[in-house]
Amino acid sequence: MPASFGGRIMVILQNYGMSFLRGAASSMLIALVGTAIGCVIGFAVGIIQTIPVEKKDSAVKKILLGILKFILNAYVEIFRGTPMMAQAMLIYYGSMALFNIHMSMWFAAFFIVSINTGAYMAETVRGGILSIDPGQTEGAMAIGMTHFQTMTAVILPQALRNIMPQIGNNLIINIKDTCVLSIIGIVELFYTTKGVAGAYYTYFEAFTIAMVIYFIMTFACSRILRHLESKLDGPDNFDLATTDTLAYTSGMFKYPDKKKEEVIPND
């Protein structure tokens, strides 16, 4: 082993560079898939929890909705309220011991991260929906839109925009938290690093590399999401359509021709 810190890092990278990359890719894959599925779960749960119950709805509908909302509430509270590491042990090893279910390690990993993210996202989505002023819902109802149409066309797009920072947060947390999955044997970045560090007894160097990789991944994700956000916002200014809009029903053009204005005599 070289005497200098930089030299030791170089040696580790030469020998284990590919392992680090594979570990990082695993972490990233689990985080991305888990966050994506988690968002879908979160949206589904958040939407169901905000379905309004009207007085004139039938008793059956009210009861079914009540039971469903109770179950979803329990799901959210239980998964938010317990450590993901314990959930991983329970779900992966527990289901093996008790029900003789042998799920693949990877399936378990995606499942655990998704279901966890879903529990957090459900509350975020609920908050995002509630944050849209009810006036817009009334505006939509007043032109005859149904609850479903109002949700998909008006409320959810705005709620999604408002919770984008929260989705970013979840993604970043997931990139880092995949390390707890090493206890069910997933060889992600943390597991890889531990192995490398142990082999050469170079904890400081190996974990420096791991930290840098974690940081690059999270920082890149946060920048990409920022960019997406500003894209969703659209431009800050708008173009005035030409006066004769009816004549240009397909394709607008931007500003009135300068020359036309000059024709008008000034007096």
Partner 1 sequence: MTKENIILDIHHLSKTFGTNVVLKDIDFSVSTGDVTCIIGASGSGKSTLLRCLNLLETPTTGEVLYHGEDITNATVNAASYRSHVGMVFQNFNLFNNMNVLKNCMVGQMKVLKRDAATAKKNALFFLDKVGMAPYINAKPRQLSGGQKQRVAIARALAMEPEVLLFDEPTSALDPQMVGEVLEVMRTLAGEGLTMIIVTHEMAFARDVSNHVVFMADGVIAEEGSPAQIFENPQNAQTKEFLSRFMRG
Our finding on whether 139 is near partner 1 (CB under 8 A) is yes
Our finding on whether 259 is near partner 1 (CB under 8 A) is no
Among residues 6, 52, 55, 263, the one that binds partner 1 under rule CB under 8 A: 55
* 163 token code pair: 């919770």
Angle, helices 189-200/5-49, rounded to nearest 10 degrees: 160
Among residues 130, 154, 164, 173, the one that binds partner 1 under rule CB under 8 A: 154
Our finding on whether 265 is near partner 1 (CB under 8 A) is no
Our finding on whether 131 is near partner 1 (CB under 8 A) is no
CB-wise, 60 or 97, nearer to partner 1? 60
Our finding on whether 239 is near partner 1 (CB under 8 A) is yes
> CA-to-CA distance for 145 and 141, rounded, in angstroms?
5
Among residues 96, 138, 185, 219, the one that binds partner 1 under rule CB under 8 A: 138
> CA-to-CA distance for 44 and 76, rounded, in angstroms?
12
Among residues 19, 50, 95, 158, the one that binds partner 1 under rule CB under 8 A: 158
CB of 70 to partner 1, least distance (A): 26
> CA-to-CA distance for 146 and 154, rounded, in angstroms?
11
The answer to whether the CB of 131 falls within 8 A of the CB of 161 is no
> CA-to-CA distance for 89 and 118, rounded, in angstroms?
19
* 74 token code pair: 């329990």
CB atoms closer than 10 angstroms to residue 36: 14
CB of 226 to partner 1, least distance (A): 19
Cβ-count burial 201-211 (b if 16+ within 10 Å, e if not): ebeebbbbbbe
CB-wise, 3 or 143, nearer to partner 1? 143
Residues within the interface to partner 1 (CB under 8 A): 54-56, 135-136, 138-146, 149, 153-154, 157-158, 161, 234, 237-243, 245-246, 249, 252
